[in-house]
Every structure is written in C-alpha cells, then in structure tokens.
Amino acid sequence: MDNFAEASLQKFAIGIAEIDAQHRRLFELLGEMKGWSGTDLEHAAAVHILDSLSEYALVHFAVEESVMRMLHYPATAAHIAEHKRFSDTLDIFRHRLLKEQRSIDLVDFIKSWLVDHIDRVDRGYVEYFLAKGIEPTAFH
C-alpha cells in the first residue's frame, strides 16, 4: 500500500475491521489516481481506474446500506442519499472524461468526498452498529 492509502487509513479508521478494509481499498484506488493532473492524464488508464473505483464504491455502499437496513439504523435514508450523490457525480465526471479527455478536479473531488463522508457520515453508525452486536474485528 502506498503512503497516501496508509496515512488515510490510519487517520480515518472507524473501528470496524470489515468496513475499514473496504475503505482501505477505496483509498488505494484513489492513490492510483493521484499522479493524474490535467493534460498529462493517461486517458485509457484514467477511465479504467475510475471505473474500478466506481464499481468498488458501489459494492461498498451496498454492504453498508444492507447492514444499516437490517439493523434499522435511523439515519439510513440520509446516508444512502449521500452515497447516491457520490455515484451520480462520478457518472458526470466519467462522461466529461470521455468527452474532454481530461478531468482536472476529479481526484480532488473523490479525495475530499471520501475523507468527509467516512469521517462525518460513516463514523456516525459505528456506535449504533457495535451496540447492535456488529463485530469490530475481522472475520476469520
């Protein structure tokens, strides 16, 4: 794992191992995008890695959302709406990337969204999940 993913993981670990492992993967994929800027973007690679990140984000969101639903987490609807806004915005970025061959603010958007969402919104369910019996440690 690169330094960025490692630093992000330590700073934004929420204390549920399965979820932190999924966030780690998102930070790793973001780390692969970090060298991109404007015109020196490698276009095919950019689209590919954006697609990988979008797909993995959907998987991760589905996991969080089903746990929230199963546990009747009170803020489920608002949380799902945030996930959807992110996915919709990534679709817009993808469209722009295909049309303009570059996307200067894509990496910054993903980074700030992930950091804000994990730290503010995901962290909000931890206490509730643990109180409902979710295991904080990894499944073996």
Binding residues for Fe ion, rule: CB under 5 A, are: 64, 122
The single residue listed with the structure tokens 């049309």 is: 99
Q: Compute how many other C-beta atoms are within 10 angstroms of the C-beta atom of residue 88.
A: 10
Burial of 72 from C-beta contacts in 10 A (0-12 / 13-18 / 19+): exposed
Type and span of the H or E element at 13 = none
**Considering the complex, what minimum distance in angstroms separates the CB of residue 86 from Fe ion?**
9
Measured from the CB atom, the residue of 28 and 64 that comes closer to Fe ion is 64
**Considering the complex, what minimum distance in angstroms separates the CB of residue 40 from Fe ion?**
31
**Considering the complex, what minimum distance in angstroms separates the CB of residue 38 from Fe ion?**
29
Measured from the CB atom, the residue of 13 and 49 that comes closer to Fe ion is 13
Tell me the residue nearest to Fe ion as measured from the CB.
122
Measured from the CB atom, the residue of 28 and 122 that comes closer to Fe ion is 122
Alpha-carbon distance of 140 to 106, in angstroms, equals: 36
